[in-house]
Amino acid sequence: MLINEIAKIAGLSKDGIRHYEKMGFFTSTARSAGSRIYREYDPSILVTIKHIRDAQRLGFSLAEIVPLLKAYADAPPSAEQTIEFLDARLVVIREQIASLQEVEAFIVEKIGRYRSQA
């Protein structure tokens, strides 16, 4: 598939797909068409893009996702391993939420102080 087809189906920009490729999530092959060279992508990268987006929704950065997808490709986890992984991720997310709530409380307190001085 050509990049514009992948982009349309995946709902990504061509630059986004090129960025994912540069990061090592997948590869493409060159295809000549007259004087132009096009990049050909295997349709299976649509599944990879779905996995990337799922991992981003779990709060992982792209740099963190690269090794996760490679590990997944080498040995897909069992249902039990997936549950353990998601449980551990839930702990991290809840810690981040608690931390952000502390920041929120601090900001609200500061706003209150400034309003009372005004």
Q: Radius of gyration over alpha carbons of the chain, in Å?
A: 21
Q: 26 and 52 share a domain?
A: yes
From residue 1, alpha-carbon distances to 19, 43, 108 in Å are 17, 6, 51
Q: What's the CATH code of the domain at 51?
A: 1.10.1660.10
Using DSSP's 3-state secondary structure scheme, residue 40 falls into: strand
Q: 5 and 49 share a domain?
A: yes
The domain total for the chain is: 2
**pLDDT by position in tens, the chain (length 118):** 999 999 999 999 999 999 999 999 999 999 888 888 889 999 999 999 999 999 999 999 999 999 889 888 889 889 999 899 999 999 999 999 999 999 999 999 999 999 999 7
Q: 111 and 69 share a domain?
A: no
Q: 57 and 93 share a domain?
A: no
Question: By the 8 A CB rule, do 86 and 54 touch?
Answer: no
Q: 69 and 82 share a domain?
A: no
Host domain of residue 105: 77-118
Q: 12 and 69 share a domain?
A: yes
Question: By the 8 A CB rule, do 62 and 52 touch?
Answer: yes
Q: Which residues of 72-103 are buried (b: 16+ CB within 10 A; e: fewer)?
A: eeeeeeeeeeeeeeeeeeeeeeeeeeeeeeee
